[in-house]
């Protein structure tokens, strides 16, 4: 099963992908509105033949915006869209990238993709997702 992980933000959306139980950072989308984000993610889901989407959700005002995005995305897609706690995923991603020796520029460029990867891997580990059937 192909799963897309999303670290949703107002201007940048980090994406991670999993096809065999292991999340990998993929890319960062730059968006100017929720509508742009919905169109971009919908196109990626279609192009990549994604079977499930997991969106990281935090607390507070941003968490409410993320839940709103998830609701709209669920209405737009014909696949499962779930939420997962992304608390501290950005900080964990930064720490892991530093430990791996990733350059500061590359970390800054892909920070949101790394964060979505940490969040998606947490989801996969917790749910025991068997994605090896692809």
pTM: 0.84
Domain ranges of the chain: 3-127
**pLDDT tens-place string over residues 17-67:** 999 889 999 999 999 999 999 999 999 999 999 999 999 998 899 899 999
pLDDT (0 to 100) of residue 100: 67
Beta bridge partners of 57: 85
* Res 110 pLDDT > 80: no
Alpha-carbon distance of 85 to 123, in angstroms, equals 9
**129 band by pLDDT with thresholds 50, 70 and 90:** low
Alpha-carbon distance of 16 to 116, in angstroms, equals 6
Domain boundaries 3-127, corresponding CATH code: 3.30.420.140
């Amino acid at each position: 099963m192909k799963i897309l992980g999303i670290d949703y933000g107002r201007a940048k959306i980090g994406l991670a992908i999993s096809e065999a139980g292991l999340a990998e950072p993929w890319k960062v989308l730059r968006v100017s509105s929720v509508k742009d984000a919905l169109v971009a993610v919908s196109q990626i889901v279609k192009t990549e033949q994604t079977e499930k989407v997991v969106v990281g959700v935090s607390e507070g005002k941003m968490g409410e915006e993320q839940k709103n995005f998830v609701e709209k995305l669920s209405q737009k897609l014909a696949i499962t869209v779930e939420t997962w706690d992304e608390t501290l995923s950005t900080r964990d991603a930064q720490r892991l990238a530093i430990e791996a020796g990733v350059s500061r520029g590359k970390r800054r460029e892909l920070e949101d993709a790394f964060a979505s990867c940490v969040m998606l891997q947490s989801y996969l580990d917790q749910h025991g997702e068997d994605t090896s059937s692809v």
